[in-house]
Structure 1
Amino acid sequence: MGAYDTLHIAGSSLGMHQTWLDALAHNIANVNTVVPTDQDAFQAQMVVAGADPAGGVDVRGIVLGDPEGLLEHDPGNPLADEDGYVRAPATDLASQMSQLIIAQRGYQASVQTTKYAQDAYTSALQIGAR
């Protein structure tokens, strides 16, 4: 595997992790979003990744969570129905935060791999120039 292969793999990983981080940020920002019971709840985004045949990883798609969500009793909410319920997303904040840490570490590892590959490529160019 050459420096270009390493750069390609690390670059594809950066892209996938950025998409995952964006989806998690969107989910976390909407964890407390409620709607009337006659509407769909916020649907969390889950990134589906897969191996790229050329090496690396790519985003295969984004799957949406359950539109049913959870019914919460909140009679003081202006969106509540006549029984005092609103529809909230079925998104677990603790799980989203755990995934955020994992995605962040993966992104950081990809950045470091890119730096190492660039250093190796630069060193090889310098050797060839002598």
Structure 2
Amino acid sequence: MGAFDTLRIASSSMGVHQVWLDSLANNIANVNTATSTSQTAFQAQTPIVRSSAGGGVEIAGIALSDPNGRVTYDPDSPLADANGNVRLPEDDLASQMTQLVMAQRGFQASVQVIKDAQETYQSALSIGKSS
């Protein structure tokens, strides 16, 4: 492993976690988005991650949740069909918030690895310098 591989790998992880955080923010903002039963539900986005050729990770694509979502009885909604049903996304707020905590922790860990590597490299550069 080269001297700067740690920085490159942690940086790629930070980028992946940022995409995950952005996706989760969009999902959370739309978790209660209702549509009529004749339309598709909001599709939550989940990044698909793979290891990259040179080490680290990268986004391979974005998976979308089921467009059928879940049908819920809400007769007061202006979008309700004749039976009083609307279509909601299949993902719920609790699931999205759990993933949000994981993504935040992963991002924070990547930042800490970068800080520690920079401090280590800085210390190595100062070895042998006169006071």
Q: TM-score range by the shorter chain?
A: over 0.9
TM superposition shift of 1:92: 2.2
TM superposition shift of 1:81: 1.2
For 2:43 and 2:3, the matched residues in 1 are separated by: 40
**Conservation of the 8 A alpha-carbon contact between 1:41 and 1:89:** yes
Structure 1 runs of 4+ with >4 Å offset = none
For 1:109 and 1:13, the matched residues in 2 are separated by: 9
Match of 1:96 in 2: 96
SS, match of residue 76 in structure 2: coil
Give the AA of the match of 1:78.
P
- In the comparison of the two structures, how many residue pairs are matched? 130
TM-score normalized by structure 2? 0.93
Give the AA of the match of 1:9.
I
**Conservation of the 8 A alpha-carbon contact between 1:3 and 1:120:** no
Residue 23 of structure 1 pairs with residue 26 of structure 2: no
**Conservation of the 8 A alpha-carbon contact between 1:3 and 1:117:** no
For 2:47 and 2:68, the matched residues in 1 are separated by: 20
TM superposition shift of 1:120: 1.2
Give the AA of the match of 1:74.
D
Match of 1:107 in 2: 107
Give the AA of the match of 1:54.
G
Match of 1:32 in 2: 32
Q: Provide structure 2 residue ranges, at least 5 long, that are not aligned to the other structure.
A: none
Give the AA of the match of 1:35.
T
TM-score normalized by structure 1? 0.94
Match of 2:41 in 1: 41
For 2:21 and 2:105, the matched residues in 1 are separated by: 11
Structure that is richer in helix per residue: 1
Deviations 1:11-48 (A, max 9, x none): 00000000011111111111100011111100010111
Two-structure CA RMSD over aligned residues (Å): 1.3
